[in-house]
Amino acid sequence: MSAVLIVGAAAAGLTTADALRRKGFDGALTVLGAEAHLPYDRPPLSKQVLAGEWEAERTGLRSPEALEKLDAEFLLGDPAVALDAARRTVRTAAGRELSAESIVVATGVRPRRLPGHDGLAGVHVLRTLDDSLALRADLLNARRLVVVGEGVLGSEIAATARGMGLDVTLTGPLAAPMAAQLGPESGAVLGELHADRGVRLRLGAAVDGLVAEGDRVGGVRLGTGEVLPADVVVVAIGADPATDWLEGSGLKVERGLVCDSRCRAAEGIYAVGDVARWEHPEFGVIRLENRTNASEQAMTVADNVLGADRAYSPIPYFWTDQFDAKIHVYGVLSPDDEVTVVEGDRAERRFVELHHRDGRPVGVLGWNMPKQTRQHRKTLVEALTS
């Protein structure tokens, strides 16, 4: 193979490039990125960068010297706009046409926005480094923040902003923060933690829209008619895979770029990271949005680009840090799981719980017990590989 093109210059794309070189690929390697920044890490954006604990430069995934040693051409600030799968050619916004024997799609996701409020000052989403820096600048001049969305990102932003001293309200349709990711019991514990730290919880309520004061946001209107006053609003209602540029490519796009168990969307075309939706032998067709998956999937994709035939069947894993809580989750949890606390105590906010479905272990959740959580992960591995 003489050339590989990676479309996406974040963690998944960079790790793929790095893995290809380490596994012996010495052909032409091109990394195309929509953003102008060199590859950086996203998890710190809602925590350390937003809080001002890290400078932007600290988020870089590799030093300039390490990137130079990759011997890859980085084409940044030029998003892909079309793919000819048969010719394995990508067209960019700047009019470039880039061809390669193998193409790896690593374009990630784009945050959803509330409709009808484009151009209203004080309204933010958080996906990129520039998003995080812009939000921080606004928060430094604000007193009241409303976060719309009680998932991982919304909960992390609420915790960070509260630590900065803002009056924070967290709203969303579910009954507890991260209930969809943690289940109702641990979600309720997280809600108690947020409330104890001064976050106002207005959960279980639909958002009807934003209230404007001139050209700036003034609040969030709930479906009940109640208005939550705000100087700044963050919209964290999920994200959609960045696949619009694949329209007309002939590839199957359905809530992500659909792949087989080898993360292959078509001959010579692979997907990795948040954009990939692939066949997992235990969990069916899934898509994972987390940093761990971006790195682990990249290793398998690099192998398969180089001629291996490896299925990608990880034990899904993600973590979140909020206030003094460090939460680790292995597997795929569901609100309907049968849940058993096997170590510690929820009341002390230090515990490990096992999730079962149809009598079979499907997940492990640990709260401030990382070592014990890893030990119980073995139960999950044994169940899924037996």
* Domains assigned to the chain: 3-110+240-305 (3.50.50.60), 113-237 (3.50.50.60), 324-385 (3.30.390.30)
| 360, 378 contact by CB (below 8 A) | no
Edge-to-edge, what's the strand order for the sheet holding 167-172?
123-124, 232-235, 144-148, 167-172, 200-203
Give the tokens for residue 88: 């394995």
Give the distance from CA 128 to its chain's centroid. 11
In 85-238, the DSSP E strands lie at 89-92, 97-99, 102-105, 109-111, 123-124, 144-148, 167-172, 200-203, 207-213, 216-222, 227-229, 232-235
Q: Kindly state the tokens that stand for 130.
A: 């520039």
Q: Are strands 284-286 and 338-345 parallel, antiparallel or unpaired?
A: unpaired
Q: Characterize 290-305 residue by residue with b for buried, 16 or more Cβ atoms within 10 angstroms of its Cβ, and e for exposed.
A: bbbbbbbbbbbbbbbb
Hey, which residues does 318 pair with through a beta bridge?
A: 329
Please give the structure tokens belonging to residue 217. Answer: 């946001």
For the stretch 304-351, pLDDT in tens is 999 999 999 999 999 999 999 999 999 989 999 999 999 999 999 999
Give the C-alpha distances (Å, rounded to integers) separating 240 from 109, 160, 274, 320: 5, 24, 9, 21
Residue 234, pLDDT > 80, answer yes
Is the pLDDT reported for residue 370 higher than 90? Answer: yes
Closest among 181, 158, 188, 177 to 365, alpha carbons compared: 181
Confidence of residue 379 (pLDDT cuts 50, 70, 90): confident
Across the chain, mean pLDDT equals 96
pLDDT tens-digit series, residues 341-363: 999 999 999 999 999 998 889 99
**Residue pointed to by tokens 């619009």:** 244
Question: What share of the chain in percent tops pLDDT 70?
Answer: 100
Tell me the residue length of the chain.
Answer: 386
The predicted structure's pLDDT at residue 153: 98
Mean pLDDT of 40-52: 97
Residue given tokens 């929820």 in the structure block: 346
| Mean local confidence (pLDDT), 12-41 | 97
pLDDT of res. 99? 98
The position carrying tokens 């060199």 is 38
Nearest one of 194, 113, 191, 131 to 160, comparing CA atoms? 194
pLDDT digits (tens, 9 = 90+) for 93-149: 999 999 999 999 999 999 999 988 888 999 999 999 999 999 999 999 999 999 999
Catalogue the E-assigned strands of 100-166: 102-105, 109-111, 123-124, 144-148
Q: What angle do CA 10, 63, 37 make, to 5 degrees?
A: 40
Model confidence at 384, in pLDDT bands (50, 70, 90)? Answer: confident
For residue 95, what is the DSSP state? S
The token pair at 380 is 């999950």
HSE-up of 279 (CA within 13 Å, CB side)? 9
Tens of pLDDT, residue by residue over 259-304, are 999 999 999 999 999 999 999 988 899 999 999 999 999 999 999 9
- Residue 137 · residue 50 · CB < 8 Å: no
Residue with tokens 């641990």: 186
Q: What pLDDT does 381 receive?
A: 87
For residue 51, what pLDDT band results from cuts at 50, 70 and 90? very high
pLDDT tens readout for residues 135-172? 999 999 999 999 999 999 999 999 999 999 999 999 99
Question: 385 pLDDT exceeds 80?
Answer: no
pLDDT band per the 50, 70, 90 thresholds, residue 382: confident
Question: Residue 49: what residue type?
Answer: V
Which of 120, 112, 113 lies closest to 230 in space, CA to CA?
Answer: 120
CA pair distance 228, 171, nearest whole angstrom: 9
pTM: 0.96
